[in-house]
Amino acid sequence: MSALENEQMKQFLIFCRFTASLGLALAMLACLPGCEPKTPRVVPPPANTNQNPSALANPNANGLDACNLILLPVAGDTPTDQKIAQTQKAVREGGAGLNHSIEQLGWLFVSKARVTFDPGFYKLAEQCALCLEDKSPHNPAALSLRGNVLHSLHRFKEAEPLARELVAQRGLSYDYGLLGDLLMEMGHLDEAIEAYQHMIDLRPDLYSYTRVAHVRWLKGDLKGAVEALQLALQSTTPLDPETAAWVYSRMAQYQLQAGNFEFGLQHTAAALQYQPKYAPALLAQGRLLLAEGHEAQAVEPLRRAATLNPVPEYQWLLVEALRATGQSDTALEKELQEHGAASDPRTYALYLANENKDPVTAIRLAQEELKTREDVFTHDALAWALASAGHYAEAADQMDQALSQGTQDARLFYHAGIIEENQGKYRDALQSFIEADGLRQMLLPSERAQVGDHLLALGLSGTDWEAQSPDANPDRIARANTKTGFSTQ
């Protein structure tokens, strides 16, 4: 595989960075093996570009079209910065390889965005795609670049027709990967699985294995997810440190859920060896330390993570760790409140609902997010926002959809328990709280305390919770035991 093809494949790991409610990333991190995974901030321009910030907000401002914007100088002395400068020079010089140089420049901007967590570089990558498309309409390279950038910016519905055109026109493994990522984010999981199966049939590799792992996790199959991600780990290489760091960070999240804290910390250490200032690895490290009860030790990696990637998921977890140690950070909480809605509306809606603050805003943000992102975690965010406003019947409808895939996530069960309890469905609430407590390591400290309080309020003692569990909801058991049926051979 050429260097350019390898760069094209690397973009798929953007997904997991949303950490979303996957906690995964955000992740679980945001987002699939390729997202984050994380929720990018669309508004600000690249922090390290020597340009007027208004230029990116309006590409035609000051007479700058797409092909001129991509030549704006980027400050920095990393190997990626040097490659960007060299490729910009090749674009300025033109020649027979012009289209190839523009495409390569776009993927370099994607790499820069992924490492710096600065979404302005995604906007520059999008301008590369637009420039390339202007010179060569329906060029597959332009479609692929733009489709993946739109995915990173959470403009899923805009990207879907581009991905479908790619699959019809070219049908490469990573074309199916892009289509699957978009379908998954929009809540069409069965169609996404079909696309991913095409992907792995064409090319069983790190990028397809990570997608299989994530879908299995969504379907409640943690063991199968770990097995698939182990195949991805075996394919990592020091030549691509960011991708390796992402995969190790993701495995750490799986180990957190499994309760293998020390093994999880070993994976975060491995991730940080590949990428010393890697925010998802630091976030996972902090979560593992919190789960072990080492709140004071968790503060330092979480503070570093939130500094590197100042989005609600990271900031909220740091706020929780500080509170658990009897501390507070007024400036941090103020920044979260001022910028959370713009940088990650879904997580910020969850935060507002958790804090019992401004339920109207929480509902509005979750409803807006649901227009473009209809996965289980967005349904959960809307359910929790509605519950915070006392709209329990509507919340229950959303919660049913959040639980529909059998995802084993403690926060989903905790939210379901609160909603059921407030509807007078005490038996169902008890079951939900027991399931949440069984995965309590995935919860924030305040959420763990709430689960314990509600279990006690339902008349249980801590030692008898499991023994007094009522018959489980058969629909929930069926969902939890769902397997995806992927073939990885």
For 378-397, the pLDDT digits (tens) are: 999 999 999 999 999 999 99
Q: CA 234 to CA 202: how far, in whole Å?
A: 19
pTM as predicted: 0.81
b/e code 242-271 from CB counts within 10 Å (16+ = b):
bbbbbbbbbbbbbbbbbebbeebbebbebb
Residue 291 has pLDDT above 70, yes or no: yes
Token pair listed for 390: 């006392």
Q: What band does 77 get if pLDDT is binned at 50, 70 and 90?
A: confident
How would residue 8 be classed by pLDDT, with cut points 50, 70 and 90?
A: very low
14-66 tens-digit pLDDT: 333 322 222 222 222 233 333 333 322 222 223 333 333 333 444 444 446 89
Q: Is the pLDDT of residue 183 over 90?
A: yes
- In this predicted structure, what is the pLDDT of residue 179? 98
**Angle, CA of 158, 405 and 411, to the nearest 5°:** 95
**Stretch among 12-16, 167-171, 242-246, 422-426 having the lowest mean pLDDT:** 12-16
pLDDT-derived band at 421, boundaries 50, 70, 90? very high
pLDDT one-digit tens code per residue, 105-116 = 999 999 999 888
Over residues 311-338, mean pLDDT: 96
When pLDDT is cut at 50, 70 and 90, the band that residue 75 belongs to is: confident
**Mean pLDDT on 289-313:** 97
How would residue 424 be classed by pLDDT, with cut points 50, 70 and 90? very high
Specify the CATH architecture of the domain 348-480: Alpha Horseshoe (1.25)
What per-residue confidence (pLDDT) applies to 408? 97
**Structure confidence at residue 489 (pLDDT):** 52
In this prediction, residue 368 has a pLDDT band, given cuts at 50, 70 and 90, of very high
pLDDT at 306 over 90: yes
What 3 state SS string does 263-311 have? HHHHHHHHHHHHCCCCHHHHHHHHHHHHHCCCHHHHHHHHHHHHHHCCC
pLDDT of residue 116: 87
pLDDT of 370 over the 90 cut:
yes
Average pLDDT over residues 216-220: 96
Mean pLDDT for 86-93 is 95
Looking at residue 14, its pLDDT comes to: 34
Break the chain into its structural domains and give their ranges. 348-480
Write down the mean pLDDT value for the chain: 85
Per-residue pLDDT, averaged over 313-334, amounts to 97
**337 three-class SS:** helix
Please, which pLDDT band fits residue 484 given cuts at 50, 70 and 90?
low
What pLDDT, on the 0 to 100 scale, is given for residue 95? 87
Strand ranges in 345-446 using DSSP code E only, listed in sequence order = none
Mean pLDDT to the nearest integer, 438-442:
97
Q: State how far the alpha carbon of 305 is from the alpha carbons of 249, 312, 313, 449, in Å.
A: 13, 11, 10, 24
Percent of the chain with pLDDT over 70: 81
Rounded distance between C-alpha atoms, residue 85 and residue 444, angstroms: 43
What is the pLDDT, as a whole number, of residue 207? 95
Q: At what angle do helices 173-185 and 189-202 cross, to 10 degrees?
A: 160
The pLDDT, as a whole number, for residue 485 is 57
- pLDDT tens, 326-340? 999 999 999 999 999
pLDDT of residue 216: 97
Distance, CA of 375 to CA of 409 (rounded, Å): 14
